[in-house]
Amino acid sequence: MARSAKSSRPAAAGTAAPKRAAADADRTALVRRARRVYRALCDQYPDAHCELTFDSPYQLLVATILSAQCTDKRVNAVTPTLFRQYPDAQRLASADRSQLEAIITSTGFFRAKADNLLKLGAALSTQFDGEVPATIDELVTLPGVGRKTANVVLGEAFGMPGITVDTHFGRLSRRLGWTTLQDPVKVEHEVGALFPEKEWTHLSQVLIWHGRRRCHARRPACGACTVAQWCPSFGEGPTDPVKAAALVREPRG
């Protein structure tokens, strides 16, 4: 019995190494494929950038809060008036609510957004001397600010790498097979592990641009997609090049 039990152990242990090797090979292939996709999207969208218009961390933070359930184009139409009226956190904190709501009405959910902006102005004024903090732990304590908004501000206003998991980024990262997760924070960490940290902000930009232009939620333009050869979801949309090309559009913002 002892000899039989002893002889079974090496066999059991011996199966672990091939499994680990297979897992490592799968992981390496995933990383290589993901980085090929990223390089191809960089070539496709050499001018990819945050499409919100801003001149300061304060302006970007406010604009990003307004962009929830709204296009960047619409936010950019509203913010010039908003920032003339409320150029800093102190002025925003003391804003007349009805006037603030009137300015941002077209961005949708304007009452909730006005409430967040008033509280944001007060929090920045009282807790951070009117300045936008430059750490994610501090940013997420602000009214209306989650990790997505915080990563936008850190990456675009402060040059600190961050992954912005908006609806486009989440959808594309799942279609491309980089993750199967739905939770934005878990997606952020799982996808981030596939790329060098220095690429995170630009990765977010190119994926968002691709999602707005080709990889749409309902009918992705598969037949006109630059990265189709590496996409396990190829075929979710029209694969005919002519039909797919008709779906490609300039972003609405």
Known catalytic residue at 240: no
Q: Compute the distance between CA of residue 225 and CA of residue 161 in angstroms, rounded to an integer.
A: 27
Instruction: Classify the C-alpha dihedral 109-110-111-116 as positive or negative.
Output: positive
Known catalytic residue at 19: no
Number of Cα atoms under 13 Å in the Cβ half of residue 147:
13
- Which candidate in 72, 119, 166, 186 is catalytic? 166
Q: Compute the distance between CA of residue 103 and CA of residue 25 in angstroms, rounded to an integer.
A: 54
- Which candidate in 24, 72, 148, 198 is catalytic? 148
Q: Compute the distance between CA of residue 31 and CA of residue 100 in angstroms, rounded to an integer.
A: 46
Say if residues 163 and 204 touch (Cβ distance below 8 Å): yes
Number of Cα atoms under 13 Å in the Cβ half of residue 222:
17
Q: Which of 107, 117, 28 is CA-nearest to residue 74? A: 107
Q: CB burial class (10 A; 0-12, 13-18, 19+) of residue 240?
A: exposed
**Residue carrying the six token digits 């799968």:** 26
Say if residues 75 and 107 touch (Cβ distance below 8 Å): yes
Which positions are annotated as active-site residues?
148, 166
